[in-house]
Every structure is written in C-alpha cells, then in structure tokens.
Amino acid sequence: MRWIWIDKFVEFDSGRRAVAIKNVTLAEDYLHDHFPGFCVMPETLMIEGMAQTAGMLVGEAGKFEEKVILAKVKKAVFFDYVQPGDTLTLEAEIESIAAEAASTKGTIRSSQKHIAEIDLMFSHIDRNLAGKQFPEENFVFTDTFESLVRGVLSGAYKGASAPAKEGAQ
C-alpha cells in the first residue's frame, strides 16, 4: 500500500515551483489516535506531504528518468496545528538542482494561517548508488503519483497529452 499525502496539484511550474492541496478529514484513520479528543495531523505527515510535493517537482524536472528519494530534512519548523476540516496548501520551490541531488524550500498554509516551513534535500539514487541494482520500473514515481500532475502540466512529461476537453475535436 502506498500513502499519498496530497490530493492534487493546483500549480506546477516545471523545474521551479509546485503548489499542492491536502484536505484533512476525519475519514483518515490516523487522526482518531492522534490525539483522542483533540485530533491533529502529525507533523511527520506534513513533512511527508511536502516531500511528495517537492519530490514530484524534482522528479518532473528530470522527466521522471531518475528515482528521487528524500535524503535529508534540512529544516522543519511548525507554527500551528492542523485539524480535520482544514485544507492545506503546500508550496515547494527548487533552490538548486544537479545531476546527483536537489534542494527545495517549502511552506504550508491553511487559509490565512502559516503552518510550517520545510526545506528538504533529495537524492537521485540511480546516479548516486552506482553498481546497485534497482528494478526497471520507477518505484518512486508510480502512475498514481504521476496522475496528480497530469491536469496541470498539459502534456509536458513522458510524451503524455493533456486530458481532452469536453466537446473538443
């Protein structure tokens, strides 16, 4: 099972910036135990949501040819908590990108609340672990993850075309 901590991308500027949305609901089981009577989204899951947002940005910058993994949490500062009913806006920007790695800066907001600042580093494992054997398929960027960006990229990756508009010929 793969956990996806973002619902959709609302902006995607290839190689520069991405904005994703996460709706927090009581349908998510983890909230019932964290904490009973005062449900809040764990900060680790906010970091994971930012890692997925920024990781897709980094992966797409390389046309999803490399397997991109989270290498380091450089900064994670939280200013407020998140509860069911909140909609998070996760914004990630690429600070630097090279063949071996990338660095990103991110912020999380809910309505007008500044929730967190999360800066991450990613590694391209195909290039950094020479001699190691990995599966041919990209186990990081599955079709499920890539489907999150299809609506905002307009066919900019893997030769995919944007979804046809209703009534278009």
pLDDT at 32: 86
Fold entry, domain 8-153: Thiol Ester Dehydrase; Chain A (3.10.129)
Token reading at 113: 């609340």
What's this model's pTM, rounded to 2 decimal places?
A: 0.85
Helix (H) or strand (E) holding 21: strand 17-23
Q: Which residue numbers in the chain have pLDDT < 50?
A: 1, 155-169
pLDDT at 118: 98
User: For the chain, which residues make up each domain, given as ranges?
Assistant: 8-153
- The 10 Å CB-count burial string (b at 16+, else e) for 52-75 is bbbbbbbbbbbebebbbebbeeee
pLDDT at 129: 65
34 classed as catalytic:
yes
pLDDT at 127: 64
Give the span between the Cα atoms of 165 and 105, in whole angstroms.
Answer: 34
Which of 32, 34, 114, 124 does the annotation list as catalytic?
34
pLDDT at 149: 82
